[in-house]
Structure formats: structure tokens, C-alpha cells
Homo-oligomer: A and B are copies of this chain.
Amino acid sequence: MAKMKLFYSPASPYVRKVMVLAHEAGLEKKIETVAVMVTPVKANPDVAKRNPLMKIPALIDGDTTVYDSPVVCEYLDSKHRGKKLFPAKGKARWTALRQQALADGLLDAALLVRYEVTLRPENLRNAEWHAGQMGKIGAAIDQMEKEAGSLKGAPTIGQITFGCALGYLDFRFADYDWRKSHKKLATWFEKFSKRPSMKATVPAMPV
């Protein structure tokens, strides 16, 4: 059977979610990663053919293309017979999906900060915008700390996204010492980071 193709970057936290889920689900060998570079200020025609939003991840499986990362993750979760990472229904499902949205929202804010300080010329940067996005990051981590005690049992897409969001902060916001005042979350993350799925997907600069 032909492999699925995943538009990929080793630095993208949204791609990492997909790869962590793929490892947890035993699907990683069924995915061929296609390394691409995307940035909001330069169109990538190869990606655009499959995802007009020109964002990654996007997954191509035969004549099916899916994006964005929550859809790719749920799609892959439907393709294996092991323990599901998306709980099927009820409170467990809403908690996992809300946690995914919380940590994805943290990442959305973190990416906007990155774009502000890397893509935008220095004389066009806006301190209020920057502070507003950092405020969202801080509030999201505070909420994650409140929920850290409940992050038990088999991993869910919520836990995976928490892990990828915190891993991204360590990768791109290394000076942001979130551990100091979020000790339960730090303890959880230390343990979660030891999973083979997380160790196989540590963020890296594209080569």
C-alpha cells in the first residue's frame, strides 16, 4: 500500500503533534514526510496545490487530503486499531478536544510572536501586540498547570498537544522559564517527554 505523504518541518509544533500521534498509534512507518518550508510572507506553490492556506501539516492519502493539524490527527487516529488518542465520546472527548484547542491556542500565540520578532522588520514591531500574545501564552500555561494533576492514563490528543506546546516553548522561547511557577506541569512534562513518541520528534532546525 502506498504510504501517506505528510508536508513536514522538524521545527513545526503542529507537525510534531501529528508525528507524536503517529508514533503512539504505530503508524509512523506508513507516513512519508515531505520536507517543506512555509512562511506567511512567501507563498509555497507545492504546498498550495494541496492546502491553499499554505500551512503545515497537510496529509495526503491517495485521493484524500486533510488539514489542519486537528483534522490530520483525527484522520490518522481512525487508521489504526490500537487504543484511540481521540476519546470517542462524552466528557473524555470534550476534555481532550478542549485541551488540544488550549495548547494549539498557546502555539498560535507563540507563532504570532515569532513572526513579529523574526519576519517583521524591527521598526514595524508593535509592543502591545507582542504583549497581548505573550499574555495568552501565560494564561494558557496557568490553565495547563491547573489541569496537570488530571493528565493521567493513556495519552490523548489533549496530552499530546500539551507536550508539543511545552516542547515548542523550550525550543523557541528558551529564556521563558515557565517551569518555575508551574511545577506540576513541569513534572508532568518531564515524564511525558520520556515517551518514545516524544523522544523521536524533538524539534530541530530544518537542514
> A residues bordering B, Cβ < 8 Å?
39-43, 48, 52-55, 64-68, 70-71, 74-75, 78, 89, 91, 94, 97-98, 100-102, 104-106, 109, 115, 119-121, 124-126, 128-129, 131-133, 135-136, 139-140, 142-143
Contacting residue for A128 out of B41, B64, B140, CB 8 A? B41
Contacting residue for A97 out of B74, B119, B121, CB 8 A? B74
* A139: chain B residues within 8 A (beta carbon): 43, 48, 52-54
Given A41-B129, A70-B70, A129-B41, answer yes or no on A136-B52 (Cβ-Cβ < 8 Å).
Answer: yes
Q: Do A66 and B124 have beta carbons less than 8 Å apart?
A: no
* A132: chain B residues within 8 A (beta carbon): 39-43
| Bound form: Cα–Cα A128–B118 in Å | 13
* A140: chain B residues within 8 A (beta carbon): 52-53
| Bound form: Cα–Cα A133–B39 in Å | 11
Contacting residue for A124 out of B40, B104, B124, CB 8 A? B124
